[in-house]
Structure 1
Amino acid sequence: MHVAAKENQAKIAQLLLDSLENPDFMRLMYPDDQEDMLQKRIHYIVDLYLNTPDKAGFETPLHFACKFGCPDVVNVLCSHPGIDKNCKNKDGLKPCDLICSRKNKTQEVKQRIEEYLEDRCYVPLLRATDNTSQPIIGDPWSPESSEGLARNQQHTRSPMDPLMTVTAFAGPLSPFKAADFRRSWKTPPRDRAEFYNILKSDLDRGAEKVGRDLAHEMGHPWAEYWGFLDCFVDLSSPEGLHMLEEYLNRKDFSVPDSSRSRGE
């Protein structure tokens, strides 16, 4: 992970994390583990890859990514809930103290790294599981703080209230960008009157459509739940298109012989 961080290989860093957190992959190495033991082992190994310092400067992969000016890797590392952003090296310096100290990067790169080091916030869309109430654009929530989640849960105050579930979200974003996005999503600007009309007229998917279009316009990550894929994904992204293509390739669109016979 240190090498990937130094060389700005964000895809390699993400692949490492995805592989280590894949139970099927880990079970190849530990086939006799019970499920709870396997999950504990995964958590332990991922923590080692994320937060183990090197022997020379006692620096973690995040230290490396920051000091060599590698924003894409900083983004991958800081998006993981297990990252320790406050670990100090042998000189008592945190990753935020070393931004671009070993590489002369532009101010834009430095600013991107600073933003990625902030709390990672998500702006959720919550819908009633029985579709009996209006969708709710929730407050920004960070896995590093339970306050936003607690505020969102206040929407369900009574046993008679419908059960709410997250159906889409934007993020991860910095706290400032998350608040700005939520404001635009909840109350679209005057020059985007069509967004307001969609929110009011399409109660089934209107909030998702407006959130999706806003996220794409503002360059923010976006994901929504698709039942046929059973996951959260942005279908317009390369990853989403790949998943959709795989799904269509697996699906059998052939008409049964009995149906053809009835049609004839």
Structure 2
Amino acid sequence: MHSPTNNSVISNGINCSNTIYYGVYVPIDAKDYSEGPYVFQDKVEALKLAKRNKKARFKAFQFYHEAAEFAMNGSECPNNNHTITGLFTSKLSETTQTIGEKSSPFKGPKPQELVELRKAIESGNYKFVKETIWQNPRYLVSNGDTPSILQEGPRYNALHVAAKSKNAEIAELILSTISNTEFIKLLYGDDNQQNAEDRTAVLLDLYLNTPNKGLNETPLHFAAKHGAAEVVELLVSYPQCDKSTRNKFHKSAAEIICERADGNNIQAVKNKIQLLLQDSYYVPVLRAEDNSLPPTVGEPFSPTTPPVLNKDPLSPRLEIHAYAGPMDKKEAQEFRRVWKTPPRTLNFNSPSRKPNENVSVTSLRYKDPDKGLERIGKRLAKDYDVSWKEYWSFLGKFS
């Protein structure tokens, strides 16, 4: 039985500490009841168990008895203030009623409303999707704190649908929204920042790595299989994305690239996705938050080993404002070397400049301190045939 550790204080069912309990519900056909209810204080361990069973559900609680009830029955206290775990039954007093997590003020959408959202994602109706999910967060988050299902049967969530539709813009909207603590605070009417951060972490992992029913494929499988290179690039940019997950046929995303792709130039798309699913590296532009330091070209990094930018709390805070990639490690190191000491001249396309007229790189860096380094990097990215992303504050994202 996964019971509270000795350093928590339980008195008459009341949690007298700040401990959070994570209950994992596993359906009866997959559960060993000799182990008791699956209740953890370590969120990572709870997630590991939940991910091993595709039918499992995961939820955090303030009280142990609530987590135990959820772990055994898939719901909290369904029988009039009795905790029924299959191993014990106890009458709860008035002071120990289920008061753990706040319930959301939003009602779950009707099935036809979820179908409408799915069709909007498939058709690329970005404005409708954004307005809908912010008007009612339950379109993305179910009552069980898991991704809402937009298509029964195969059990597609919104990210499955966006990946299958090859729509990177809406896939990015979905991931950035469920990663936004303000969205989670809106969902629960709870201003606690730590609670919101914990929930976003769980939701992000579930959206990225939950397989569908039947083929057991994650959104990454969908994107790779349909040749959606931009979606693949987005998904693997998240360190939480598990590239090793295998589908019903024991194949990873890397083993089914472009199996369902159509259109021209499929081989080029396949090559790009293969590179993305390897250990990819990016070369960033680093700028001080207060602009007290000149911008610099940072060391190559990969999503699995993100850069440590602010080791010294007394130094100006550095942020990534643009990046080029993906590339393999050797290519990224070469790109950085050329970017730091580029040729004295580079050809920049401009309506006011003749095609063969060159611009001094040194001059550009000093004359355009806000975007000069980015302009050089963007031009080099074009020469190296790699993607280029810049952060635009008015959009609140990289584009």
Where does 1:97-176 land on structure 2 (aligned, <5 Å)? 97-103=255-261, 106-126=266-286, 135-145=295-305, 149=307, 163=316, 165-166=318-319, 168-175=321-328
Which digits, 9 at most, give the CA deviation of each residue in 1:39-61, with x for residues without a partner?
11111112111100122122111
Which digits, 9 at most, give the CA deviation of each residue in 1:138-189, with x for residues without a partner?
221123125xx36x889x8xx9x96572463313422355334323311223
RMSD: 3.5
* Alignment check: 8 A CA contact 1:208 1:224 kept: no
Where does 1:34-53 land on structure 2 (aligned, <5 Å)? 34-53=192-211
For 1:31, the equivalent position in structure 2 comes to 189
Matches of 2:169 and 2:304, distance apart in 1: 24
Question: Are 1:187 and 2:341 an aligned pair?
Answer: yes
Matches of 1:162 and 1:35, distance apart in 2: 26
Secondary structure at 2:282 match in 1? strand
Matches of 2:365 and 2:230, distance apart in 1: 38
Matches of 1:94 and 1:3, distance apart in 2: 19
Which residue, 388, 393, 398 being the options, matches 1:221? 388
Percent identity of the aligned residues?
36
Which digits, 9 at most, give the CA deviation of each residue in 1:8-66, with x for residues without a partner?
12222122112212222222221136211111111111211110012212211111111
Which segments of 5 or more consecutive residues in structure 2 lack a partner in the other structure?
A: 1-158, 347-357
* Alignment check: 8 A CA contact 2:178 2:200 kept: yes
Moved more, 135-144 or 85-94: 135-144
Moved more, 123-132 or 76-85: 123-132
Q: Quick check: which one's helix share is greater?
A: 1
Secondary structure at 1:80 match in 2? coil
Matches of 2:171 and 2:378, distance apart in 1: 27
* Alignment check: 8 A CA contact 1:167 1:225 kept: no
Secondary structure at 2:242 match in 1? coil
Matches of 1:130 and 1:11, distance apart in 2: 30
For 2:214, the equivalent position in structure 1 comes to 56
Secondary structure at 1:12 match in 2? helix
Which digits, 9 at most, give the CA deviation of each residue in 1:209-239, with x for residues without a partner?
433444466563232586xx69675xxxxx6
Larger Rg: 2
Question: Are 1:198 and 2:363 an aligned pair?
Answer: yes
Q: 1:128 to 1:77 in 2, by over 3 A?
A: closer
Which residue, 80, 83, 90 being the options, matches 2:241? 83
Matches of 2:293 and 2:186, distance apart in 1: 46
Which digits, 9 at most, give the CA deviation of each residue in 1:230-254, with x for residues without a partner?
9675xxxxx6xxxxxxxxxxxxxxx
The alignment covers a number of residue pairs equal to 225
